[in-house]
Amino acid sequence: MRYHRSNRGELLSPVKEMVEGGDSMRKVAAMFMAVAALGFLSACGRDETITSTTDTIPPLPPVDLRVFDARDGSVVLFWSSGKDVDLAGYRVYRAVQSEPDSFRYVGETTQAVYVDDGLEYDTTYFYSVTAFDQSDNESERSNVVSAMPVNEFPPRQPSGFRVQAHNRDDGVFISLLWDANNEGDLQGYYIYRSTDEPVDPLPEFLHDSTSSTMYRDTAGVEVGKDLYYEVAAYDKGRLQSAPTPVQGDRPLDKPGLVLPADGGASPGYPTFYWHPVPGALGYVIFVSTSRFSGEIWSAALADTVAPYSGSILTPGTVYYWKVGTITNTPWDPNSLSAVWSFQPG
């Protein structure tokens, strides 16, 4: 190890060389010097209390900041990971000019990578990154990089698309659901609708648009009327994804209940009957202890007769039952019957 002498001919220690050199061991070296000083004072016979001080030494600034990708309203940044033992994370600063005073905080991360999205396509953005430690000491800023996130590709096709018609106490409507797209420049979704299959993503079929991943259609929705849908995502530049596969449904009539009669008696293991509903692919029956909750048994079946197979019902207790029709989604009935009560004898 090399030793250097000052202008006064004093020998600088290797520990001091590490501290003044600013390498990644400077905090460890500073602690070593404090311990050495404590030993020196003890050797001199001083009976003094040495108290620890708050960490005020910032980490080294991030190095080698680079732009990994810049397009479609997003900029992906990455840099070399810091080596400080108490490093807590990084703060990202952005500007639309390269002047140092114009940078503003946009976010932070614990990893040496950051995705900045929701940006304009025709703007050049400048970035710089700092490191901060567990005492919230913040380093100087890194080098500055720039990028323009031009609109290059349309969003991906929405996934998980499903359609379910409803004829219930809260109205007659058709629900559309799909999974959220993750593009940084996503603006929303177009809803295409037709009374005939197929549906084309053309202006004449455009029914509505939304920024949500769910949609309730009530306009022109009627019991027994088929409607078909597609959904396409679009970005801030109005580039549009491929549409989802076509799905359709229609609200069905409500099932008419037959037995047990409303308010009537039944055996401990009753058999339930109801009228068939045209267009239903199946039925689901619910038995509960109150009119609106307390479900104790349910069953899905293709027939309009359902023998009860739950725990034996208590004589003299009032129970409630209703039936739903199934079309597209088994767990979400299309139409629901009225609620009837019965009492096992």
CATH number at residue 131: 2.60.40.10
Verify that 271 and 295 share a domain, yes or no.
yes
**pLDDT tens-digit map of 33-80:** 444 444 444 444 444 455 557 899 999 999 999 999 999 999 999 999
Mean pLDDT to the nearest integer, 147-152:
95
In a domain, 96, yes or no: yes
The rounded distance, in Å, linking the Cα atoms of 266 and 272 is: 10
Please list the residues that pair with 336 across neighbouring strands.
324
Give the tokens for residue 166: 């409803």
Q: How many CA atoms lie within 13 A of 10 on its CB side?
A: 4
With a cut of 50, say whether residue 254 has pLDDT above it.
yes
b or e along 42-62 (b: 16 or more beta carbons within 10 Å of the residue's beta carbon)? eeeeeeeeeeeeeeeebbbbb
How far does the chain reach from its first CA to its final CA, in angstroms?
Answer: 99
In a domain, 264, yes or no: yes
Verify that 272 and 332 share a domain, yes or no.
yes
Q: In this structure, which amino acid lies at residue 278?
A: P
The rounded distance, in Å, linking the Cα atoms of 248 and 173 is: 13
Positive/negative CA dihedral, 326, 331, 336, 339: positive
In a domain, 101, yes or no: yes
Please list the residues that pair with 111 across neighbouring strands.
none
Q: What is the average pLDDT score of the chain?
A: 88
In a domain, 153, yes or no: no
Verify that 317 and 334 share a domain, yes or no.
yes
Positive/negative CA dihedral, 51, 52, 54, 55: positive
- Domain residue limits at 318: 257-344
Verify that 270 and 241 share a domain, yes or no.
no
In a domain, 152, yes or no: no
Positive/negative CA dihedral, 168, 169, 175, 177: negative
Verify that 207 and 267 share a domain, yes or no.
no
Q: Which residues contact 181 (CB under 8 A, 6 or more apart)?
A: 155, 156, 158, 233, 241
**pLDDT computed for residue 100 by the predictor:** 87
**pLDDT computed for residue 24 by the predictor:** 45
With a cut of 90, say whether residue 16 has pLDDT above it.
no
In a domain, 156, yes or no: no
| 34 membership: H or E segment, kind and range | helix 26-43
**pLDDT computed for residue 256 by the predictor:** 98
With a cut of 70, say whether residue 155 has pLDDT above it.
yes
Choose the final residue of a domain: 98, 113, 147.
Answer: 147
Please list the residues that pair with 162 across neighbouring strands.
177
**pLDDT computed for residue 107 by the predictor:** 97
Verify that 300 and 331 share a domain, yes or no.
yes
Pair 325, 164: CB distance under 8 Å: no
Give the tokens for residue 159: 């996934």
Verify that 10 and 47 share a domain, yes or no.
yes
Verify that 177 and 211 share a domain, yes or no.
yes
Q: Crossing angle for the helix pair 26-43 and 14-21, nearest 10 degrees?
A: 140
With a cut of 60, say whether residue 315 has pLDDT above it.
yes
Angle at 124 between CA 122 and CA 126, to 5 degrees: 155
Verify that 263 and 325 share a domain, yes or no.
yes
Choose the final residue of a domain: 230, 249, 268.
Answer: 249
In a domain, 89, yes or no: yes
**pLDDT computed for residue 197 by the predictor:** 83
Verify that 320 and 277 share a domain, yes or no.
yes
Dihedral class, residue 171 (left if φ above 0, else alpha if ψ from -120 to 50, else beta) = left
**pLDDT computed for residue 51 by the predictor:** 55
Mean pLDDT to the nearest integer, 241-247:
97
pLDDT band of 25, cuts 50, 70, 90: very low
With a cut of 80, say whether residue 232 has pLDDT above it.
yes
In a domain, 203, yes or no: yes
Verify that 4 and 77 share a domain, yes or no.
no
Choose the final residue of a domain: 147, 182, 216.
Answer: 147
Total tally of structural domains belonging to the chain: 4
Verify that 219 and 237 share a domain, yes or no.
yes
The rounded distance, in Å, linking the Cα atoms of 85 and 31 is: 13
Q: In this structure, which amino acid lies at residue 208?
A: D
